[in-house]
């Protein structure tokens, strides 16, 4: 489905303070109160002591990852207008490079390492060249707040000009190269709400359109026709789109008026508009219409309407025609149409047992579509598909010199959760599997997202230690499509939690074993895991909660915040008594009680605007007060980052998480002996 900021912005929440919440003092919106900072530092000191105890294990993991670095195959470059672009390690530094299609002569556009060197946190959100290829716009987050600053680099003089602050990462140039179209963020809430045209000559910015409804978010994406961008307003289950003419700066009227439950996502190619929309049926169909009559819904013609239980998830436009992606269960297919919208053929996206996804990479003129696939034990590979000839060929594949795939096994097992069959993907090393091999169980279960079984050397290192690595595809995720998502969201959130508990319970006896279970979840996955720990603490032997959304009722009860109303469908509406009751039953923070919790590591980022640091801090404080267990219970606060980890620190942080859990498995082994 075309770009939607709902998921990217899904948990940009702050929490309301309950009168009975005696840990509310840990909330400090300014993030500067000495009492709070002292507390967080004290807990960091405690965590640091534990880190020192397991340092050798953590360093050993990092050394293994270093020694087993892959010979990475060529990644497809992004093709735009006869040129190709990529961010690569070039001459020892991460650099944005360009070259003519078919050429090996490289041009260095931007040293990302140089831009990031002076900041503790750095994220390049996006980049965009103007039509003359002499000016490079870049959107950078240097605080972890996801509030981007936009600058323009003159590629001839290397002069850098600041253009805007407090915008999202979207970048689009006007055709004359004298202005940029940016999405402004509300100062207090960071809600993306206004499309604004910023001029390089320091003229006053012009606001082109504003989203006034605080339950809706504004975004845009470039269309296949480079003359347009698609401006999108969306709530949780509805969308409204307009066309922005990048030449004139004019914004059209809505293509379809907003209506609750109606979603549509469009693209433009030549003189035609194409759309994936559910305005006529409960599910989506693929439509086309003359661009000059795009707002006349009666002139939209159905190109493709699934006749089985499959669902259209996305589409791509090329000179050769359209490519539509559909999903039924966990299987995805590509459907090809010519320029007269006549059906050509279909093919499966991935081989059995693998996960695959489309990466367009090529622009409209390229007729190139790339497919990336892997499994937990199969290194990543790229296929290139010619959308004109429909020929698919292997483009490249990562190679790990010391990795022997035959030594590992991956499989999908099914567990029963209240009569519903829940898939779990797992992997292990065959010669390391014993009856007591520990299970590291990962879960997310929100926003219809499917947790892909990625191949990672870090995961393989766990398998080499005798760990079974597993992913529970619980309801609330997208493993079986929209119905699977709907069955685990909002007032049905408890289904996702019960699914995760069922997966853990069955995996304790996997392959006739008796296995300890260690849970992992981040953000919305932290909600899942923390709720499961409340309901079945004895089932788990340890857990890692990364930037966890655990203070659900307090956060969703703050009606002054723009995203609470938008998130009611995902978490429940506390203004409705029946829904509030459900929320109170699963809320991880509210349901902490005096019982024997397993060891837990909680990680938060001080600058996190999606899940504020105080959610994890309050959870930790209350857990420490109530638990009858011996721990350890650790809170780690990163003072320079937000919801995401700076890539320069990501490996050491992941090593600590894995070392924490592995140290617990060693304790369990000694206890059994």
Each residue of 496-515: pLDDT tens digit? 999 999 999 999 999 999 99
Q: What is the DSSP letter of 607?
A: T
Tell me if 217 sits within 8 A of 566, measured CB to CB: yes
Residue 673 has pLDDT above 50, yes or no: no
Strand partners, 126: 139
User: Which pLDDT value is given to residue 351?
Assistant: 77
Between 293-302, 355-364, 413-422, 429-438, the lowest mean confidence (pLDDT) is in: 355-364
Q: Which residues of 644-670 are buried (b: 16+ CB within 10 A; e: fewer)?
A: bbbeeeeeebbbbbbbbbbbbbeebee
- Please tell me if the domain spanning 35-64+407-672 has the same topology as the one spanning 119-210: no
Percent of the chain residues past pLDDT 90, beyond the cut: 79
Residue 646 has pLDDT above 80, yes or no: no
- pTM equals 0.90
Q: What is the DSSP letter of 100?
A: E
β-bridge pairing 285-290 and 272-277: antiparallel
Residue 579 has pLDDT above 60, yes or no: yes
Strand partners, 95: 88, 111
Q: What is the DSSP letter of 71?
A: B
Summarize pLDDT for 259-273 with one digit per residue, the tens: 999 999 999 998 999
Q: In the structure encoding, which two tokens stand for residue 110, read together?
A: 């931007």
Between 103-107, 281-285, 384-388, 652-656, the lowest mean confidence (pLDDT) is in: 281-285
The answer to whether the bond into 632 is cis (omega within 30° of 0) is yes
The answer to whether the bond into 28 is cis (omega within 30° of 0) is no
Q: In the structure encoding, which two tokens stand for residue 176, read together?
A: 């004359």
Please give the Cα distance from 386 to 604 (Å, whole number): 44
Tell me if 575 sits within 8 A of 583, measured CB to CB: no
Domain ranges of the chain: 35-64+407-672, 74-108, 119-210
User: Which pLDDT value is given to residue 559?
Assistant: 65
Token look-up 């000839």 returns 389
Strand partners, 384: 370, 393
Overall residue count recorded for the chain in this entry: 673
Supply φ then ψ for residue 23, to 5 degrees.
Answer: -105, 15
- Region of 448 please: left (phi>0), alpha (psi -120 to 50) or beta: left
Tell me if 568 sits within 8 A of 490, measured CB to CB: yes
Model confidence band, residue 302 (pLDDT cutoffs 50, 70, 90): very high
Summarize pLDDT for 94-146 with one digit per residue, the tens: 999 999 999 999 999 999 999 999 899 999 999 999 999 999 999 999 999 99
Tell me if 255 sits within 8 A of 273, measured CB to CB: yes
Listed in sequence order, the residues at least 6 apart from 210 whose beta carbon sits closer than 8 Å to its beta carbon are 193, 194, 195, 218
| DSSP string over 436-494 | T--EEEE----TT--------HHHHHHHHTTPEEEEE--BTBSTT-HHHHHTTSGGGHH
H helix intervals, 9-106 = 34-53, 55-67
> Would you tell me the crossing angle of helices 34-53 and 613-626 to the nearest 10 degrees?
70
- Region of 144 please: left (phi>0), alpha (psi -120 to 50) or beta: left
Q: What is the mean pLDDT of the chain?
A: 92
Our CA angle for 26, 31, 37, nearest 5°, is 60
CATH number 3.40.50.720 is the correct assignment for the domain at 35-64+407-672? no
Q: In the structure encoding, which two tokens stand for residue 371, read together?
A: 């497919």
CB atoms within 10 A of CB 377: 23
Please state, in angstroms and as integers, the Cα–Cα distance from residue 353 to each residue in 110, 281, 332, 333, following that order. Answer: 39, 32, 12, 15
The listed CATH number (1.10.620.20, 3.40.640.10, 2.40.128.660, 2.40.50.100) that belongs to domain 119-210: 2.40.128.660
Q: Which of 624, 633, 621, 527 is nearest to 25 (CA)?
A: 621
Please give the Cα distance from 178 to 386 (Å, whole number): 36
Q: Which of 87, 202, 118 is nearest to 152 (CA)?
A: 202
Percent of the chain residues past pLDDT 70, beyond the cut: 94
Model confidence band, residue 656 (pLDDT cutoffs 50, 70, 90): very high
Summarize pLDDT for 220-251 with one digit per residue, the tens: 999 999 999 999 999 988 999 999 999 999 99
Please give the Cα distance from 138 to 377 (Å, whole number): 36
Please give the Cα distance from 456 to 60 (Å, whole number): 17
Q: What is the DSSP letter of 615?
A: H
| DSSP string over 296-328 | -GGG-EEEE--SSS-EEEEEEEETTEEEEEEEE
Model confidence band, residue 335 (pLDDT cutoffs 50, 70, 90): very high
End-to-end, the C-alpha distance of the chain in Å comes to 53
Q: Which of 2, 556, 43 is nearest to 263 (CA)?
A: 2
Token look-up 């490996």 returns 651
User: Which pLDDT value is given to residue 517?
Assistant: 99
Token look-up 């978010």 returns 217
């Amino acid at each position: 489905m075309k770009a939607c900021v709902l998921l990217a912005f899904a948990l940009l929440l702050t929490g309301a303070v309950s009168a009975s919440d005696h840990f509310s003092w840990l909330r400090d919106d300014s993030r500067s109160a000495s009492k709070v900072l002292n507390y967080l530092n004290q807990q960091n000191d405690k965590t640091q002591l534990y880190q020192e105890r397991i340092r050798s294990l953590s360093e050993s993991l990092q050394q293994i990852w270093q020694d087993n670095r892959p010979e990475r195959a060529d990644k497809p470059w992004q093709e735009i207008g006869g040129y190709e672009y990529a961010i690569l390690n070039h001459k020892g530094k991460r650099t944005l490079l360009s070259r003519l299609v078919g050429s090996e002569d490289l041009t260095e556009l931007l040293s990302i390492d140089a831009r990031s060197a002076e900041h503790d946190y750095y994220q390049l959100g996006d980049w965009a060249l103007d039509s003359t290829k002499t000016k490079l716009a870049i959107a950078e987050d240097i605080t972890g707040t996801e509030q981007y600053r936009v600058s323009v680099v003159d590629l001839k003089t290397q002069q850098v000009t600041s253009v805007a602050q407090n915008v999202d990462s979207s970048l689009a140039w006007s055709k004359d190269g004298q202005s940029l179209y940016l999405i402004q963020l509300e100062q207090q809430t960071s809600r993306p709400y206004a499309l604004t045209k910023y001029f390089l000559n320091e003229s006053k910015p012009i606001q082109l359109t504003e989203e006034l409804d605080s339950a809706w978010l504004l975004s845009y994406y470039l269309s296949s026709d480079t003359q347009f961008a698609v401006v999108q307003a969306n709530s949780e289950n509805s969308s409204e789109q307009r066309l922005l003419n990048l030449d004139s700066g004019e914004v059209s009227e809505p293509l379809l008026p907003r209506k609750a439950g109606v979603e549509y996502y469009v693209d433009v190619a030549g003189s035609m508009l194409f759309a994936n929309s559910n305005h006529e049926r409960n599910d989506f169909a693929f439509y086309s219409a003359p661009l000059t009559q795009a707002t006349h819904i009666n002139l939209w013609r159905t190109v493709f309407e699934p006749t089985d239980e499959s669902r259209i998830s996305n589409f791509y436009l090329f000179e050769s025609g359209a490519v539509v992606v559909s999903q039924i269960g966990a299987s995805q297919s590509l459907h090809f149409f010519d320029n007269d919208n006549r059906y050509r053929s279909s093919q499966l996206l991935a081989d059995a047992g693998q996960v695959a996804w489309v990466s367009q990479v090529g622009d409209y003129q390229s007729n190139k579509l790339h497919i990336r696939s892997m499994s937990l034990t199969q290194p990543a590979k790229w296929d290139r598909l010619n959308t004109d000839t429909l020929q698919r060929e292997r483009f490249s594949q990562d190679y790990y010199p010391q990795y022997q795939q035959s030594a590992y096994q991956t499989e999908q097992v099914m567990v029963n959760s209240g009569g519903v069959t829940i898939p779990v993907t797992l992997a292990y090393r065959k010669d390391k599997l014993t009856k007591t091999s520990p299970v590291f169980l990962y879960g997310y279960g929100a926003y219809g997202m499917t947790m892909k079984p990625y191949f990672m050397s870090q995961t393989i290192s766990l398998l080499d230690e005798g760990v079974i690595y597993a992913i529970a595809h619980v309801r609330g995720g997208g493993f079986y499509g929209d119905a699977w998502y709907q069955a685990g969201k909002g007032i049905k959130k408890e289904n996702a939690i019960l699914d995760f508990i069922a997966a853990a319970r069955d995996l304790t006896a996997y392959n006739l074993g008796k296995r300890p279970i260690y849970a992992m979840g981040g953000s919305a996955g932290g909600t899942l895991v923390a709720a499961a720990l409340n309901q079945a603490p004895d089932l788990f032997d340890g857990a890692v909660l990364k930037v966890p959304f655990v203070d659900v009722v307090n956060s969703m009860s703050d009606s002054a915040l723009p995203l609470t109303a938008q998130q009611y469908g995902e978490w429940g509406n506390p203004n409705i008594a029946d829904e509030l009751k459900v929320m109170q039953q699963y809320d991880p923070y509210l349901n902490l009680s005096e019982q024997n919790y397993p060891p837990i590591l909680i990680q938060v980022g001080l600058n996190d605007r999606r899940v504020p640091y105080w959610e994890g801090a309050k959870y930790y404080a209350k857990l420490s007060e109530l638990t009858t267990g011996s721990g350890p219970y650790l809170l780690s606060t990163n003072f320079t980052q937000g919801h995401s980890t700076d890539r320069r620190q990501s490996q050491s942080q992941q090593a600590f998480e894995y070392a924490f859990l592995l140290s617990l498995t060693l304790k369990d082994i000694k206890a059994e002996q």
